[in-house]
Structure 1
Amino acid sequence: MTDAQTARGKTVNTVLGPVPADDLGVVSVHEALLSVVPGAEHAYDITIDRAEIFEILAQKLTDFRHHGGRTIVDSTGMFHGRDVRLYEALSRSTGVHIVASTGMGPEEMLGGYFLTPQTNPPTPWPAERFADLFTKEVTEGMVVPRVERRAAAGLVTTTATRGGMTPTDESLFRGAARTALNTGVAVSIRYGKDALHDLDVVLDEQLPADRVVVGGLDRKDAVAAGVPLEVARRGAFVALDHVGLDDDDAHLTDRERASLVLDLVKAGHGNRILLSSNALGVAKGQPDYDLPFSYVASTFVPFVRSLGLSDEEARRILVDNPRELLTLR
């Protein structure tokens, strides 16, 4: 039995090992420390200087801690720049707990190895193969190219194709759910076209709803259809994870997000709300998104409090809810 399994229900997996769940403090549950579009590291016009990246991220994490942040979740999964050694050094240097994730998706972001196994005709990987891959990253440690394993993943995350879940996406979602059942970590899903359908795929694997967070629920299409309230009613966590993005036609403004937070609290679902910014600490191969990791705690939550959110509910959203999600079970 692994350390993570024996500590289930008491601790959270971080890049420096399991920590007591009560030590997490204020958590940002969906950010990207280092986001590298696959292949960008080989581009002639992109420089990846790890020392420079370290300095930039150390400053941002120090600012996060200065504004009351204690734990940050890197939700990029396996192949979008995750650098476990770098995250270990950053955590030691800044004192911020870093929870890294396993998982991948959507299909369009997967390499051919996962899409065209040697069968005739080629078929997507079955869910059990994804489950085995992700489970080992929790129980044996996350892979550091090429063969080394280091700290255990603290979350399994996956994303569906924006136009609608594909068969490969479904295998990913089912594999993620089985990983959660095998290891005690939670699942973070980002829906494609239909959030309730995508949530149902995970719940069909008999994973309890309170082990699932549905991301991107501050998208206008989800809000217009009443999805955040329905996800909360089903017992899953509602992630409003583009806080600070105020000029995007696909997402709510912060004022609209604040109203949604208050509506969910009024409906009795304050214990299902999670907030983050989907900020990119350092981006390579895609545009920078230079929003502070501290924005939710330092700017957005005080704004919602000015509109009527109580101190108790603010603490529930920033501290208690993410602790419940991330604690191993």
Structure 2
Amino acid sequence: MGRQSAGDTGAVNTVLGPVPARELGVVAVHEALLSVVPGAEHAFDVVIDRAEVFAAIAGKLREFRAHGGGTVVDAAGMFHGRDVRLYEALSRATGVHIVASTGQGPEEMLGGYFLTPQTNPPTPWPAERFAELFAKEAAEGMVVPRVERRGAAGLVATAATRTGMTATDESLLRGAARAALATGVPVSLRFGGDAVRELDVVLDEGIAADRVVVGGLDRAEAVAAGVPFEVARRGAYVAIDHVGTEDAAHVTDAERAELVAGLVAEGHGGRVLVSSNATGVAKGHEGNDLPYSHVLTAFVPLLKAAGLADEDVRRILVANPSALLSVR
């Protein structure tokens, strides 16, 4: 079942095993396939029919491929509906590569087991315990509950609390960085209250900046403060990953295009990623029902109108995610 990781082969860990990075094609780098609020699967009013879920997600993946897409990254982590066997079947049926993730966060989304409530007072897991948990999934395969390990995780995804990084969040960030260092996969950090400070915590563990992507950087307050440029200047990847979402918390797609153009103009084109944070199927919450192809069909024309050349667009959609996801 491809339990081994890609190793130092210029390959990427997908749910069907290592794939040469050059074969990924256009990558939707921050998406969700099956997204379930932890515990919702046990609710009386939530039905998860695997055949219906498969059909719905397969349709979206096929549409993505029809528009030139090659790979979807499920960046939701461990306990938000991740179904590795389902993802294997989806990849085989649609021809779309699927990269799944390990990791957790922020603190409010953790179960009590990870907060060790048996201590008095309750204390968070230390970073090393999170590192061991995440690294095992990236090196030996992701856990299918009560069954086995399957394909290796392709990245470690974590997030910090929106109101400010907690002690548990810091353990998660440090654990994610250590797991990435041990296994060669990258870290995906969905920033909370202070992207630069949270990035610094990850970098403090000794991981190279070009192995880290900071997500959520199209939030309005981050753009207004110039945070995407500061993250790029530190050498990390900047994820403009809510393309298609236009609300009070985020900038518009037109503003996103201008932001990307500004990053490219400042010399950071090799550190930009774009995605939609789209949801294939959501249970227990309202998902983001954009198609995975939204970036290709609606945002790429805006990028070109903002002055990006075809080679800039290809770098952002193909070369940058390929470099990030390559195990090394």
Calculate the TM-score normalised by the size of structure 1.
0.97
Shift of 1:10: 1.1
Instruction: Provide, for residues 76-133 of structure 1, a one-character-per-residue CA deviation record: whole Å limited to 9, x for no partner.
Output: 1000000000000000000000000000011001000000254343311000000000
Shift of 1:9: 4.5
- 2:272 corresponds in structure 1 to 273
Q: Give the number of aligned pairs.
A: 326
Shift of 1:287: 1.1
- 1:319 corresponds in structure 2 to 318
Check the 8 A contact 2:5/2:140 in 1, yes or no.
no
Shift of 1:178: 0.2
SS of 1:281's equivalent? strand
Q: Is 1:29 paired with 2:29?
A: yes
Shift of 1:140: 1.0
Shift of 1:229: 0.4
CA distance in 1: counterparts of 2:273 and 2:9, whole angstroms: 20
Letter of the aligned partner of 1:291 in structure 2?
L
Shift of 1:150: 0.5
Letter of the aligned partner of 1:305 in structure 2?
K
Instruction: Provide, for residues 130-155 of structure 1, a one-character-per-residue CA deviation record: whole Å limited to 9, x for no partner.
Output: 00000000111000012411110000
- 1:284 corresponds in structure 2 to 283
Q: Is 1:100 paired with 2:100?
A: yes
- 2:65 corresponds in structure 1 to 65
- 2:80 corresponds in structure 1 to 80
- 1:309 corresponds in structure 2 to 308
Check the 8 A contact 1:30/1:278 in 2, yes or no.
yes
CA distance in 2: counterparts of 1:202 and 1:270, whole angstroms: 22
Letter of the aligned partner of 1:270 in structure 2?
G
Letter of the aligned partner of 1:59 in structure 2?
G
Report percent identity of matched pairs.
Answer: 72
Letter of the aligned partner of 1:286 in structure 2?
H
- 1:20 corresponds in structure 2 to 20
Uncovered stretches (5+) of structure 2, i.e. residues with no partner: none
- 2:5 corresponds in structure 1 to 4
- Structure 1 runs (4+) greater than 4 angstroms displaced: none
Letter of the aligned partner of 1:168 in structure 2?
T
Letter of the aligned partner of 2:302 in structure 1?
F
Task: State how 1:81-230 maps to structure 2 within 5 Å.
Answer: 81-116=81-116, 118-230=118-230
Letter of the aligned partner of 2:233 in structure 1?
R
Letter of the aligned partner of 2:223 in structure 1?
V
CA distance in 2: counterparts of 1:52 and 1:326, whole angstroms: 30
Shift of 1:184: 0.2
Shift of 1:289: 2.0
Letter of the aligned partner of 2:33 in structure 1?
L
Check the 8 A contact 2:4/2:151 in 1, yes or no.
no
Check the 8 A contact 1:57/1:281 in 2, yes or no.
yes
Calculate the TM-score normalised by the size of structure 2.
0.97
SS of 2:92's equivalent? helix
Check the 8 A contact 2:4/2:140 in 1, yes or no.
no
CA distance in 2: counterparts of 1:120 and 1:147, whole angstroms: 34
Larger deviation, residues 40-49 vs 203-212? 40-49
Instruction: Provide, for residues 154-200 of structure 1, a one-character-per-residue CA deviation record: whole Å limited to 9, x for no partner.
Output: 00000101100000000000000000100000000011110000000
Letter of the aligned partner of 2:321 in structure 1?
P
- 2:44 corresponds in structure 1 to 44
SS of 1:261's equivalent? helix
